[in-house]
Each structure stands twice: as C-alpha cells, then as structure tokens.
Amino acid sequence: MSKMFADCPICKASQKLEVTTKTEKIPYFGEIMESTLLCHECGYKHADTICVEKKEPVKYTLTVEKENLNARVVKSQSSTITIPEIGLKVEPGPQSQGYVSNVEGVLDRFEKAVKTALSWAEDEQVKKNAVIILEDIAKVKEGKKEVTLVVEDPFGHSIIMHENALKSELTEDEIKKLKTGFTTFESDELETDNQDPSED
Ligand SMILES: [Zn+2]
C-alpha cells in the first residue's frame, strides 16, 4: 500500500488530497489496483479499481442464490452489469467506478440507485415499477427469488468469483452493443459497415 498527497481537483487545496493505492493479486484473475482519493480539506472522496493486466473480452453469468451472495465480484469501470429478471442494468459512463464487492454488495448498489430514482420520480408508473424492483431485490437477498447476475466486460477486467459462475467469451456483436465508459464516436452510418456487401 502506498500513500501520497496531491492537490485536490475539487476545492484546489494544495497537498490536501490523500491518494492511497493498493495492489492485490486475485487468484485466476490477475493483479488489480485499488486507489482511493480523500481530501482532508473538503471531504471529496473517490475510489477506483483498475486491472493492471490486459485481458480478453469476457462475460460472467451466475444464478444468484442465498448461498452465493458472498461470492466476490470485481467490477471494472468498463463493465456492464445486468439482472435481466428484474430489468436492472448498469452501463459504464463517465461517472462509473470500478469496485471489488460481492453479489450482495452489487444488489445493495442497485437498491440504492433504485431508491434514488424513486425519490426523484414523479410519474406514477415509474414509482410503481421502482417499488416492485425494490421488493424483488429484497426477495433475492432472502433467497426467495432466483435471478441471474450477468457481468460483461469488453476489456476482461471484471470477474464473478464462484464455482457456479459461468465464464463465456463475448461475441463480436455483443461487444459492439456494450458501452465502454469511454467517449467513442457514434454514428448510424457506421452500423451499415457490419452488413455483408455481397448480400442483397
Ligand atoms: Zn478538496
């Protein structure tokens, strides 16, 4: 673990930002680096997890049961997390962070996000849906509802660590549909490149 001080990007205080980095080797996965930023002046906090090694695109699927709620999950900045049965999906964006948690921790994060959405929602249908999702998440945690946790990462920096987690490769099409969290050039015209010109 190493510590250093830097200038805070938020309040601009000089040398008040404590930067802690820690590298950790995860079995069958490789080395990851966790970094934490904490400003002693304004309280700004940011945590991130970066995989140090280059990897192939990957997809992990796990049927969530009460017994595997503590299975470790490494989510990189570039990964998409989906629970299709409940209609939950988190895609990478400029604000996305990587983290190391477990299945229950992922559910907690979804729960928090839905609660935030619920507090802002004005539309009755949106509110109703949010309440149903929260009930579903609670059922999953109690082992009363079976769902699938899917983690897709075009850079292969994410993992669900459990013997029942199914690891598969991403198809070219699946990779194209994933967002990376980085700014990319998007154009409708580019999609026609996928078509085989010999087909008519
Ligand atoms: Zn600050």
Sheet holding 147-153, edge to edge: 88-90, 80-83, 147-153, 58-64, 166-168
Give the pLDDT band of residue 131 (cuts 50, 70, 90). Answer: very high
Ligand 1 centroid to Cα of residue 15, in Å, is: 9
* Superfamily of domain 54-183 in the CATH hierarchy: ZPR1, A/B domain (2.60.120.1040)
Residue ranges per structural domain of the chain = 1-53, 54-183
Ligand 1 centroid to Cα of residue 38, in Å, is: 8
Ligand 1 centroid to Cα of residue 5, in Å, is: 12
Residues 1-57 have pLDDT tens digits of 889 999 999 999 999 999 999 988 877 667 888 889 999 999 999 888 877 777 788
Give the right CATH number for 1-53 from 2.20.25, 2.40.50, 3.40.50, 3.30.870: 2.20.25
Alpha-carbon distance of 7 to 10, in angstroms, equals 9
Ligand 1 centroid to Cα of residue 1, in Å, is: 22
Could you tell me what percent of the chain has a pLDDT over 90? Answer: 55
Ligand 1 centroid to Cα of residue 45, in Å, is: 9
Give the pLDDT band of residue 198 (cuts 50, 70, 90). Answer: very low
Ligand 1 centroid to Cα of residue 113, in Å, is: 25
| Residues 154, 175 contacting (CB under 8 angstroms) | yes
Task: Name all contacts of 132-141 with Cβ < 8 Å and 24+ positions apart.
Answer: 133/86, 133/87, 133/88, 136/85, 136/86, 137/86, 137/107, 137/110, 137/111, 140/64, 140/86, 140/107, 141/66, 141/69, 141/104, 141/107
Beta-carbon-side half-sphere exposure of residue 51 (alpha carbons within 13 Å):
22
Residues 75-98 have pLDDT tens digits of 988 899 999 999 899 888 777 778
Say what the pLDDT of residue 181 is: 55
